[in-house]
Amino acid sequence: MSEPRYKSPYEAYPFLSEPSADLRCDFEIATDEFASEVGLLSAVLGGLGGDERRALAGDLVKVEELVYSANPTLRTFFSVTDAELQWLVGRATELYERSGGRQETLFQLPRGSEEACRAHILRSKAKALARLAYRAEEGGLPVPERLHDLLSALSGYFYRLALRLNQIAGVPEMPYLSRNYK
């Protein structure tokens, strides 16, 4: 049996000393960071002005709440409703339609306006969360299928949000043609 770990009386979170193989705390910290970055993007958009940007900032508050609702899923249960998941998927679809099908090629370089770049970072981090959930499942933790759906939907939402934000800012997309995948 291993020696008990020291737990600082100043620890910011009671699960920080969990064994490294237990990915629940890692998932919770990663979703907390993700939600914080969603909040930052919401603040940036809300400060830029314009009706659509303000509406998108409001949507991001709802997205942030969904992420925080998913945060304890590996430790407790999945509390995001099917209606909330469908709302997110619907918002992603609406962003795609409003951008006039802006995705002309399979890959776009993750660039553009500052707010679009922040959305691209969130897109990538949503994929990292999805990967972490799969790793947790591989390690024996029960992971609801709807959590996998939510994390994948978040990645798609932020991709389409990035395209729309570039369009609003008048920044053209830069297609990327892979040298490796043809």
Domain at 58, CATH number:
1.20.1200.10
CA neighbours closer than 13 Å in the CB half-sphere of residue 123: 19
**Total domain count, the chain:** 1
| Most confident of the following: 2-6, 65-69, 176-180 | 65-69
Tell me whether residue 87 is in a domain. Answer: yes
State the residue range of the domain holding 161.
24-169
CA-to-CA distance for 25 and 16, rounded, in angstroms? 7
Tell me whether residue 19 is in a domain. Answer: no
CA-to-CA distance for 97 and 90, rounded, in angstroms? 10
Radius of gyration of the chain (CA): 18
Residues β-bridged to residue 108: 175
Tell me whether residue 140 is in a domain. Answer: yes
pLDDT at 65 > cutoff 80 = yes
Per-residue pLDDT reduced to its tens digit, 107-118: 889 999 999 999
pLDDT at 1 > cutoff 70 = no
pLDDT the model gives residue 106 = 66
Tell me whether residue 11 is in a domain. Answer: no
Pick from 66, 103, 72: nearest CA to 86? 66
SS3 175: strand
Tell me whether residue 1 is in a domain. Answer: no
Tell me whether residue 8 is in a domain. Answer: no
Taking residues 175-179, report their average pLDDT.
86
Tell me whether residue 81 is in a domain. Answer: yes
Pick from 96, 83, 101, 79: nearest CA to 156? 96
Tell me whether residue 182 is in a domain. Answer: no
CA-to-CA distance for 162 and 122, rounded, in angstroms? 9
Distance from the first to the final alpha carbon of the chain: 52
* Mean residue pLDDT across the chain: 93
Q: From the DSSP assignment, how many helices (H) and strands (E) are in the chain?
A: 5, 0
SS3 28: helix
Find where tokens 């979170």 sit. 13
